Amino acid sequence: MALDFRRTRITFDPTRGQEQSESSSVTFPSRVLRAEVALNGFDSKYSDGDHHVLRHKVDASIAQISDRTVTARVDFLLRDSSGTVDDRYAGTVDVLVIAEVA
């Protein structure tokens, strides 16, 4: 058994009114026995001007393992204190997928 690593970037388009969730898949050279994901970095911004930040959420997890392919999922939210998620926000999240491969 060996460990292998793959990085992927997940892009979030400008959105308002909800928390965003996106996925990205990486493929390893051999069958994946188990995997974990780590946050490697992120860049987030409001799309329409400057706002105070009440909540900033970036949550990465493994969504699926299928043979040699691992799908990572990221939940992403940026909101101010106006009471709702009424301002458009966007960004990118880089994750590192760590897999035990056969």
What are the extents of the domains in the chain?
A: 2-101
Distance between alpha carbon 76 and the CA centroid of its chain, in Å?
A: 7
Q: From residue 25, give the alpha-carbon distance in Å to each of 14, 45, 52, 80.
A: 22, 24, 33, 31
With tokens 């990465």, the residue in question is 60
pTM over 0.95: no
Q: Is 90 exposed, middle or buried (0-12, 13-18, 19+ CB in 10 A)?
A: middle
- pLDDT exceeds cutoff 80 at 87: yes
Q: Residue 84: pLDDT above 90? A: no
- Give the per-residue pLDDT at 59: 97
pLDDT band at 85 (very low <50, low <70, confident <90, very high): confident
Greatest Cα pair distance in the chain: 51
The CATH number of 2-101, from 2.60.40, 2.50.20, 3.30.70, 1.20.58, is 2.60.40
What digits encode the pLDDT tens for the residues 28-53? Answer: 999 999 999 999 999 999 998 778 88
